[in-house]
Amino acid sequence: MKSRVVVVGAGGAGLVAALNAHQNGAEVVLVTKEYPTRSQTCMAQGGINAVLNETDGDSVELHIQNTLKSANALADESAVSYMCQEAPKAVAWLDSIGVPFSRTPNSKIAQRKLGGAYGARACYAQDYTGLKILHTLYDRCLAEGIEILNERYLLELLTEPEQSGKKYIRGVSLLNKRSGEVEILEASSVILATGGYSRVYNTYSTNSLSSTGDGIAAALRAGARVSDMEFVQFHPTALKGSSILISESARGAGGHLLNSKGERFVDELLPRDEVSKAIHDEIAKGENIYLDIRHLGVEFIEKELPQEAKLAKLYENVDPADDLIPIKPAAHYTMGGIEVDSNSSTSIEGLFAAGECANHRVHGANRLGGNSLLEIVVFGKEAGINAAKYAKNATKDEAILEAKELSENEIAEIKRYANEISFYEKQAILGEIFYKNVGIKRDKGALQEALKEVQEMKSSLPKMGVSDKTKEYNTNLIEFLEFKNMLTVAETILLSAISRQESRGAHFRVDFPATDKKFRAHTIVDAEGVVSYEN
């Protein structure tokens, strides 16, 4: 399969990667476990950062500085510089393919200020930025005739050892959700763009149900390294019952945070980690926390925050024009991921990664708002170009024979599991433990307790399994495979969090509250669970 690039995951990063690999001469196959437009990118509405002109005091240099500051000295300066310098080009490209960015009266792309930014540099498309970028990218892929395989669940990355001991990629094994058949796709190079892992926090996450870290877990099994997994960003204002996100724009517009006594207790416009910490402390004291936007007025709410008002009514049964909105912080974005170099290449030859599943070392310990959509466009492109180049020069072309049988046997094995314990219940427990012990504030004891629990769950997987043994469209089986992957990911988060004996950005250790220069390095975890640090 010379020159074939398989892209796994069809959110923003995957679609950009596919387009660029295609334009660079590769035969591209894009696979997704759902459909492209259903991916997490559709939920990223705030904006995409780019300094489009330097007239109002903002500059690319300031974008770089703001990003580095937010990252708490844990980002790679050259990667951040590259991303910020490419930002205006990335936005111009999106504009050129038809993304309907909001405009100013002077026909410029409209920009707004997000937390931690010097100026208004987040380009937006009304309150649907991610949705509109995603759909336009999807349309572009259709225009280019890129082959898309929907409803394929990634099972394994197929690799071969080289004489040097290093592994190189041969393809992927997939479960066709519809037929229940295992499919093998041979490839010269593979790009993982499978998204983040916030669903480890189960119902305490703002994310789509599918952000289960499948690509990260598969990469680990194949021998790739992951890094900075302990850094999980919590969003301060998720609805209390459902963890559904209430956008930062509510606070940006002047919304207050109140405790049960009706008191304000924090400057609502501090960075996300600090606001989340303040809310966490209030909740620990037994307070209920509310977002108050009543004073903004019915008219403003209807015009500027209609989605938020709708969701508050639906999920909390409150009308934000008259009532307080019950909220809590929830896991929102995962900074860690598959370790990649400046070419988006992983430690496995021919395997590339981009988007939230990858760690390009641009977010460090805390991501700046508006940089996630930017990252997927800038590094999705890099991954696509480099994977196409690699594929063109790939010489290995022998068939993969035994992979199909291996995967089939594994699925048959899972169907024979005893199913004495409900994995759905364990998944709920995992979420509770992670929220409580691996949340905004952590300490050694709590982390070790969580690790013990995760390892127990891992070893009792054969007692869980699935009760639905059907072949076709078995979502019970898919959810079990996702749960397995989440346990793999959970273990790396815990190993990294236990090892990092300091507080930095989104990782706050009660027992080590200060930032420690010694830990100004990236946490690396390998397939054997060995933790090391690198710069």
Partner 1 sequence: MKINIQRESVVTYEVNMEGATLLEVLNEIKRAQDPSLAYSSGCRSGVCGSCAVRVNGREVLACSHNAKDGDLVEPLRNTPILRDLVVDMEKAYSFNAKAKAWQSSLADNIELSEENQQINELQSDCILCASCYSACPVYAVNEEFLGPFSLTRVWRYVSDKRESDPKEKIDVAQTNGVWDCTLCNECTLVCPQGISSKADIEKLRSKSSMFGYMDPSFSNFGGGFNDGSPVF
Interacting residue ranges for partner 1, rule: CB under 8 A: 34-35, 37-40, 42-43, 92, 95-98, 100-105, 107, 125-126, 128, 131-132, 135-136, 139-140, 142-143, 150, 178, 208-210, 242, 244-245, 307, 310-311, 314-315, 317, 422, 424-425, 428, 466-468, 470, 472-476
Measure the CA–CA gap between 337 and 322, rounded to whole angstroms: 42
Name 288's bridge partners.
none
Measure the CA–CA gap between 217 and 211, rounded to whole angstroms: 12
Residue 36 identity: P
Residue number with CB closer to partner 1 (143 or 298): 143
Residue number with CB closer to partner 1 (178 or 458): 178
What are the angstrom distances between the C-alpha of 302 and each of 101, 125, 319, 323? 21, 18, 11, 15
Q: Is the dihedral of CA 81, 82, 85, 86 positive or negative?
A: negative
Q: How far is the CB of 84 from partner 1 (least distance, A)?
A: 22
Residue number with CB closer to partner 1 (145 or 165): 145
Residue number with CB closer to partner 1 (209 or 418): 209
Residue number with CB closer to partner 1 (59 or 102): 102
Can you tell me which residue has the tokens 């022998």? 398
Measure the CA–CA gap between 133 and 37, rounded to whole angstroms: 10
Q: How far is the CB of 414 from partner 1 (least distance, A)?
A: 13
Q: How far is the CB of 345 from partner 1 (least distance, A)?
A: 28
State the angle between helix axes of 60-70 and 77-96 in degrees (0 to 180), rounded to the nearest 10. 120
| DSSP tag of 380 | H
Q: How far is the CB of 90 from partner 1 (least distance, A)?
A: 14
Using alpha carbons, select from 226, 230, 202 the residue that is nearest to residue 215.
Answer: 226
Supply 410's token pair. 């594994």
Measure the CA–CA gap between 146 and 150, rounded to whole angstroms: 12
Q: How far is the CB of 476 from partner 1 (least distance, A)?
A: 4
Supply 71's token pair. 């990252």
Measure the CA–CA gap between 229 and 212, rounded to whole angstroms: 14
- Catalytic (active site) residue 520: no
Supply 291's token pair. 């977002």
Per annotation, catalytic residue among 4, 199, 251, 272:
272
How many Cα atoms sit within 13 Å of 196 on the Cβ side? Answer: 30
Q: How far is the CB of 328 from partner 1 (least distance, A)?
A: 16
123 in Cβ contact with 187 (< 8 Å):
no
Q: How far is the CB of 478 from partner 1 (least distance, A)?
A: 10
Scored b (16 or more CB within 10 A) or e, 50-86 reads bbeeeeeebbbebbbebbbebbbebbbeebbbbbbeb
What are the angstrom distances between the C-alpha of 147 and each of 22, 27, 113, 138? 10, 9, 38, 11
Residue number with CB closer to partner 1 (40 or 49): 40
Residue number with CB closer to partner 1 (476 or 499): 476
- 3-class DSSP assignment, residue 435: helix
Q: How far is the CB of 137 from partner 1 (least distance, A)?
A: 10
Residue number with CB closer to partner 1 (174 or 222): 174
How many other CB atoms sit within 10 Å of the CB of residue 267?
11
Catalytic positions = 272
